[in-house]
Amino acid sequence: MAYQTRDLPPWQRHDGRADTVGDVHIRTCDEVRPLAASIEGWLSDVQGCALFRAAAATTGKGLIVEIGSWKGRSTAWLAAGARLAAARVHAVDPHTGSREDPEAATLAAFRANLTDAGLADVVEPLVMTSAEAARMLDGPVELLFIDGDHSYEAVRLDADLWLPKLVEGGTVMFHDVGTTGYSGPRRVFRRSICWSSEFEGIRRIGSMVVARRTRRRDVRSAAWGRCAGLLLYLYDAQRGLRR
């Protein structure tokens, strides 16, 4: 479903804040889609729209942080939403090498793609590791998107470094949890989110999963968290059968 102007909270509709990309008014997922589609990446449109909506809904209680940007497809979705909220995206990625492509050097493409999309002014590239960025950014985080190195050790480090910064009511989004392609993000999400009493509203969008920080979840949310964690074992079983 397109993200319509009427879906925005009243303070994000016509209050004079910046809401354009170049000369084009961007207020819906349908308007962001062609910009993002021109950027190489693995994020689906449905997942991108979820990022857009989450960024547009931020209220200024904390930063928008992306761990893992690659060439900027997910960053573009976040940035378009962040502009509606008069916010910026802190995009963390060393842009050199990856488990999939050790020779990768993506910074030039990342900058060019965001410039072409008219979104470079809404993004603060942090060309460094997740650990370095966590030391540099001291403030709270309202929206956290984790899509960096997918090894268990790396995802766990990202979660341990960044989840404590997430404000109450803040949103965390993990990519590539609901897939047999990777196990690291799923194992960490299960440990850090599903089994935790501090997260509720767990839901899946394709391979991406989303949760909201709370002071302490209620009984129903706790039951669903445990259920969600158990359901994720199905992907582990499928992964094992394919070996």
What is the CATH number for 236?
Answer: 3.40.50.150
Q: Tell me: pLDDT of 236 over 60.
A: yes
Model pTM score = 0.87
Query: CA separation (Å) from 160 to 51, 67, 131?
Result: 22, 13, 10
Total domains in the chain come to 1
Q: What is the pLDDT of residue 242?
A: 65
Q: Tens digits of per-residue pLDDT, 175-212?
A: 999 998 899 999 999 999 999 999 999 999 999 999 99
Q: What is the pLDDT of residue 98?
A: 73
Counting every residue written for the chain, the total comes to 243
Q: What is the pLDDT of residue 30?
A: 95
Q: Tell me: pLDDT of 33 over 50.
A: yes
Domain range for residue 139?
5-242
Q: What is the pLDDT of residue 6?
A: 34
Q: Tell me: pLDDT of 233 over 60.
A: yes
Q: Tell me: pLDDT of 121 over 60.
A: yes
**Which of 23-37, 103-117, 146-160 has the lowest average pLDDT?**
23-37
Q: Tell me: pLDDT of 7 over 80.
A: no
Q: Tell me: pLDDT of 14 over 90.
A: no
Please provide the average confidence, as pLDDT, over all residues in the chain: 89
Q: What is the pLDDT of residue 205?
A: 96
Q: What is the pLDDT of residue 103?
A: 82
Confidence band (pLDDT; 50, 70, 90) for 221?
A: very high
Mean pLDDT computed over 26-34: 93
Q: What is the pLDDT of residue 123?
A: 98
